[in-house]
Amino acid sequence: MSRKYFGTDGVRGRVGEFPITPEFILKLGWAAGRVLGDGGGKVLIGKDTRISGYIFESALEAGLAAAGMNVCLLGPMPTPGIAHLTRTLHARAGIVISASHNAYPDNGIKFFSAEGTKLPDEVELAIEAMIDQELVTSAPDKLGRANRVDDAAGRYIEFCKSTFPEHLDLNGLHIVLDCANGATYQIAPKVFAELGAELTVIGNDPDGLNINDGCGSTHLEWLQKKVQLQGADLGIAFDGDGDRVLMVDREGRVIDGDELLYVMTTHRQRMQRLKGGVVGTLMTNLGMEHALQAAGVPFVRARVGDRYVMEQLQAHSWELGGEGSGHLICLDKTSTGDGIVAALQVLAAVVESGRTLTDLVSGMDKYPQQLINVRLARKVDVLATPEVQAAVAAAESELAARGRVLLRPSGTEPLLRVMVEGQDAGEVLRVAQELAGVVEQTLGSG
């Protein structure tokens, strides 16, 4: 069954436009309470720093209480922190109010199960079905209560620190932290400072409107300049809800999620602590696949999206996976992608090896990648078109083992993403343009 309200990562949209309205979110809270709690238990609610969080926190609280669920309010808290506290506080579920790396006009609601993982499809479908039912308030003596968890931040800070090796510290490392004016702004500086790092912190002054605004993992220019100006060893950037991380080395070069995953993997392999292989996605850089192959590390690709990376990790009983965007999963440490925890694993590699971040990344050659969006006349199965099939086959034959081709239809509009990557930048650009030209000529809207 297709979902009516839920996307790949909860319910998301522009504030004030359906479904991101107070009325709908209240009904969503009630429906979730009915399905997840069946009239009892507690649910945690946390949020990032965008101004609309106040509205939706209140709406969810009202809906859940009407369904008979008790509510624990966490306040501003990174998404992975809510997943962690959902497990450790033995809640029925955790709810995050966030639109992740989007700007403040957007917001969203996503859920964690009692185990701190994304909800299964069948549970989301059950919540959607309940939303379409009439809201019936529980009897007055069965209504839920609400309270605020005052030590939520402290609990999560201690957890993050516990994922860093006890015999190591960050003394002697000068780090610039960019908290994206988001959910990590209070927590991340304390974690890294308490482990001994010398810190310069930016993006830690949220006003409700400046989340992800010219800062964080989607806007690295400020961090790059700050690292070089301060002469820091490296920079770390989180996104608005703290489930993604990217880094900058001392020269200001961006180290993306693929490269960070490579650093964690090869360090664990050297220390004989690597369990199994690594899960990437269809968009993972071919250079990482080849580098892991050379190191003898198994590698598989999942569909784009952290839930699909998680599925493959669980299927193979592996621990490490992620995406180039910086959503990195360390299943031996936590149950979901966690920017702070992933950053600490990379820093552990830096400290334990005595090498710089630049040096640790040097074993992986990131291949040039070209992405061209082609607008289609209509939504159609592009890969079933003979002309496109022939063009893809020709491109793959020309690139051979030096590169790869990926055609990805957009899930929301008649758009095809033509991606080509390989060892030679000129060849990659030419092949991508030729392939996009065939798609445009055959199926394009113009």
The set of catalytic residues is 100
Alpha-carbon distance 296 to 280, whole Å?
Answer: 16
How distant, in Å, are the alpha carbons of 215, 265, 276 from that of 330?
A: 25, 10, 13
The one-letter amino acid code at 192 reads: F
Which residues lie closer than 8 Å to 217 by C-beta, 6 or more apart?
101, 178, 180, 237, 238, 239, 244, 245, 246, 325, 326, 339
Name the residue among 136, 134, 120 with its Cα closest to residue 3. Answer: 120
Which residues lie closer than 8 Å to 290 by C-beta, 6 or more apart?
365
The one-letter amino acid code at 295 reads: A
Task: Output the six-digit token pair for 95.
Answer: 């709810």
Alpha-carbon distance 200 to 232, whole Å?
Answer: 9
Strands 42-47 and 93-97, sheet pairing: parallel
Determine the Cα angle at 264 with ends 259 and 269, to 5°: 120
What is the torsional sign of CA 84, 90, 93, 97? Answer: negative
154 burial via Cβ count (<10 Å: 0-12, 13-18, 19+): exposed
How many C-beta atoms surround the C-beta of residue 23 within 10 A?
A: 10
Name the residue among 8, 10, 30 with its Cα closest to residue 20. Answer: 10
Which residues lie closer than 8 Å to 375 by C-beta, 6 or more apart?
414, 415, 444, 445, 446
320-342 burial code (b ≥16 CB/10 A, e <16) = bbbbbbbbbbbbebbbbbbbbbb
